[in-house]
């Protein structure tokens, strides 16, 4: 059984199941990474050559030999290094695991060669967020007198206000915005959860969107966020530009679109927002997923502790002024 034939069968099954286009593309990408590994190791791309040892060698290969962002046109040499992150490795393994589990369950293959192959442990590291001053400086970085700068400024506002993913924002069309009622709807076909959600926006955000749509009138496109030539903006291009704005604003943190989502969620909670409402804004069905996106700053933790610590009550008498001898 040729692997390419098996992948085509798997892919057609997932298309029939209604998987999102982004998920299907991820299947293609991750399969191509594995096939490339087989070429490097001079392993024939046929099912009978696959076993646990091959996949464990694949893990080692990704950990020690693969160059991060190799061939990525928007990444600098500084950002490239040997070894992929555990999260990236696990994502690539997930596609292969889903593929071979599917083929085995459909009785297309006699076994599942990935059974027993475990993911790499992913340490729960603290996710950086921007503080309010950094966020303001970042928003001031684009040159709003130029079309591209104004578009980026508006896109940042939409990402911050809507707390959406960059892939959701760049696929928004004019018809998704209700500028009269200050809302935007993320359609099911571009939402990661495959469920639509309508998000409220502040008037300041919809005002910018309205101006951008007006500026787009000479282009023949239904999308809102376009390049100077009227094409739908590539999310990797915006990621590169956002990083440049971070350098211009002299922010030492790694600035990327998802950082805006982290930051917005954190500031929402720090300002007293409900975690349940935040869950709805972020579009997560599982509350545990919301906790991964919200990392309250140490300052907020200190403020909450100062306000609500039980010691405030038990130490009440100790804090009263004492009468001293004259």
Q: Within 13 Å of residue 34, how many CA atoms lie on the same side as its CB?
A: 29
CA dist., res. 239 & res. 245, Å (int): 10
85 band by pLDDT with thresholds 50, 70 and 90: confident
The per-residue pLDDT for 66 is 79
The per-residue pLDDT for 72 is 56
CA dist., res. 313 & res. 163, Å (int): 38
The per-residue pLDDT for 279 is 86
User: Which carries the bigger pLDDT value, residue 298 or residue 128?
Assistant: 128
Which range (7-11, 13-17, 199-203, 284-288) has the least confidence? 284-288
The per-residue pLDDT for 61 is 92
- For 3-48, how does the pLDDT look when each residue is reduced to its tens digit (9 = 90+)? 999 999 999 999 999 887 888 999 999 999 999 999 999 999 999 9
Q: Tokens at residue 73, please?
A: 């046109």
Per-residue DSSP letters for 129-144?
Answer: ---HHHHHHHHHSS-T
Mean pLDDT, rounded, of the chain: 86
The angle at the Cα of 252, spanning 251 to 254, to the nearest 5 degrees, equals: 95
Give the domain ranges of the chain: 3-105, 132-305
Enter the pTM of the model: 0.69
Q: At what angle do helices 257-270 and 235-248 cross, to 10 degrees?
A: 70
Contact 173, 222 (CB under 8 A): yes
Q: Helix or strand or coil: residue 200?
A: strand
CB atoms within 10 A of CB 64: 10
Specify whether domain 132-305 bears CATH 1.10.1760.20.
Answer: no
- For 259-276, how does the pLDDT look when each residue is reduced to its tens digit (9 = 90+)? 999 899 888 888 878 888
CB atoms within 10 A of CB 35: 15
CA dist., res. 317 & res. 127, Å (int): 40
Q: Tokens at residue 155, please?
A: 């896109």
């Amino acid at each position: 059984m040729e692997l390419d034939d098996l992948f085509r069968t798997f892919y057609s099954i997932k298309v029939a199941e209604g998987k999102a286009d982004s998920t299907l593309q991820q299947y293609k990408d991750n399969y191509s990474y594995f096939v490339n590994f087989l070429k490097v190791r001079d392993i024939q791309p046929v099912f009978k050559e696959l076993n646990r040892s091959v996949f464990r060698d694949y893990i080692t290969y990704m950990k020690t030999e693969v160059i991060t962002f190799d061939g990525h046109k928007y990444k600098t040499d500084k950002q490239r290094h040997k070894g992929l992150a555990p999260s990236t490795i696990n994502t690539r393994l997930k596609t292969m695991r889903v593929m071979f589990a599917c083929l085995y369950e459909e009785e297309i293959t006699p076994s599942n060669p990935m059974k027993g192959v475990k993911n790499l442990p992913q340490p729960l590291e603290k996710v950086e967020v921007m503080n309010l001053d950094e966020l303001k400086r970042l928003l001031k970085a684009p040159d709003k007198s130029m079309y591209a700068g104004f578009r980026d400024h508006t896109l940042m506002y939409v990402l911050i206000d809507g707390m959406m993913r960059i892939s959701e924002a760049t696929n928004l069309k004019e018809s998704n915005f209700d500028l009269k009622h200050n809302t935007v709807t993320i359609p099911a076909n571009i939402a990661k959860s495959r469920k639509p959600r309508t998000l409220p926006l502040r008037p300041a955000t919809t005002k910018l969107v309205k101006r951008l749509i007006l500026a787009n009138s000479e282009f023949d496109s239904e999308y809102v966020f376009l390049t100077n030539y009227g094409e739908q903006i590539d999310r990797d291009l915006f990621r590169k530009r956002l990083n440049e704005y971070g350098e211009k604003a002299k922010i030492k943190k790694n600035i990327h679109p998802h950082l805006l989502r982290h930051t917005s969620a954190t500031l929402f909670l720090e300002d007293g927002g409900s975690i349940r409402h935040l869950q709805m804004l972020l579009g997560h069905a599982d509350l545990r997923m919301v906790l991964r996106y919200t990392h309250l700053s140490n300052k907020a933790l200190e403020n909450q502790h100062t306000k609500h610590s039980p010691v405030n009550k038990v130490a009440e008498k100790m804090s009263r002024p004492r009468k001293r001898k004259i």
